[in-house]
Structure 1
Amino acid sequence: MWRELIDELYPEAELPAPADEATIVEIEKVLSLPLPFELGSLLGECNGVYNQYGDAVVWSAERVIEDNLAMRNEPDSLELYAPFHELIFFGDSDMGPQFAYVHTDYGPGIIVWDQETDQRRLAVVSLRDYLVRCLTQGNGWFRSTVRPPGSR
């Protein structure tokens, strides 16, 4: 399903082999959060997705673990940012912002996080919508979801 969607959106994409099932299961165990079904499903088909610029639109399962643990345990992050323990970061843009799942009362949503301001804004509600935007609208589609500090 995911490979077909990505091929439709971005036919030039070279998709890696599926992630190892044990590594996908390890994400939940290590991060102590439920892995959204759609992310686990995508990683089970291809271990990461890259756009035409080489950005890791979806990180590999190994990077999901490594980067999330690093962000949660980095002393500077603990001082500079609100806690990350309720987020699962899974992708980024060369423009700086990173994308993460956040669990809400209505289920998981995908936020964009700006490391300069620590601003966290809901970007999309599904991985499918996220991929459509990343692979068809290019870098910067998420800017409309991020507002300058102090704006409403």
Structure 2
Amino acid sequence: MWREAAGQAFPDAEFSSPVDAALVAAAEQRLRCSLPPELGRLLQETDGIVGHYGVETVWPLERIVEENLRFWSDSSFADLYMPFDALLFFGDNGGGDQFAFVLRPSRADIFVWEHEDDSRRWVARDLRDYLGRSLADEGDAWYR
């Protein structure tokens, strides 16, 4: 389902081997939160999606874990940015902006965090919408 959705938006999208449910559960334990259900299902179909120019439109599970743990705990970020603890990052644009689900309150919407000004804006109604928009466009215009 997810490979098909991504492939419809960008036929040259690259996929990885799926992650099994036990690895997803272990990642959730490390994160101390559940992944959004649609993200968990996507990862069990492909461990990330690479789009235009090698951009990791959806990160592999291990990167999702590592990046979020870093963003949630790095004390130097507190001096630079608003807190990240309500966001679960899962992909980027290749230039520093990152895409996230909102954890609290839990919702399917996708937001972009723009690193230059620490803004956070809605960009897609759910993961399928995000894949369709981000993979169909070669640049950042789709969310600007």
Same fold (TM over 0.5): yes
Deviation at residue 83 of structure 1 after TM alignment? 1.4
C-alpha separation between the residues in 1 aligned to 2:104 and 2:74?
25
Q: Which residue number in structure 2 is paired with residue 148 of structure 1? A: none
Query: Are residues 1:31 and 2:15 paired?
Result: no
Q: Which residue number in structure 1 is paired with residue 87 of structure 2? A: 87
Q: Is contact 2:12–2:51 with CA below 8 Å preserved after alignment? A: no
Q: Residues 106 and 26 of structure 1: is their aligned pair in 2 closer, same or farther, counting only changes over 3 Å?
A: closer
Deviation at residue 9 of structure 1 after TM alignment? 2.1
2:54 counterpart SS class: coil
How many aligned positions are there?
143
Deviation at residue 107 of structure 1 after TM alignment? 2.4
Deviation at residue 24 of structure 1 after TM alignment? 1.3
TM-score, normalisation: structure 1: 0.86
Unaligned runs of at least 5 residues, structure 1: 144-152
C-alpha separation between the residues in 1 aligned to 2:31 and 2:125?
21
Q: Is contact 2:101–2:107 with CA below 8 Å preserved after alignment? A: no
Q: Which residue number in structure 1 is paired with residue 56 of structure 2? A: 56
Q: Which residue number in structure 2 is paired with residue 103 of structure 1? A: 103
Q: Deviations over 1:51-70 (max 9, x none)?
A: 12101000000000001111
Kindly report structure 1 stretches of 4+ aligned residues shifted beyond 4 Å. none
C-alpha separation between the residues in 1 aligned to 2:143 and 2:95?
10
Q: Which range is displaced more, 24-33 or 78-87? A: 24-33
Q: Is contact 2:59–2:90 with CA below 8 Å preserved after alignment? A: yes
Q: Which residue number in structure 1 is paired with residue 116 of structure 2? A: 116
Deviation at residue 27 of structure 1 after TM alignment? 3.0
Deviation at residue 14 of structure 1 after TM alignment? 2.6
TM-score, normalisation: structure 2: 0.90
Q: Deviations over 1:55-106 (max 9, x none)?
A: 1000000000001111112221122111111111000012321001003657
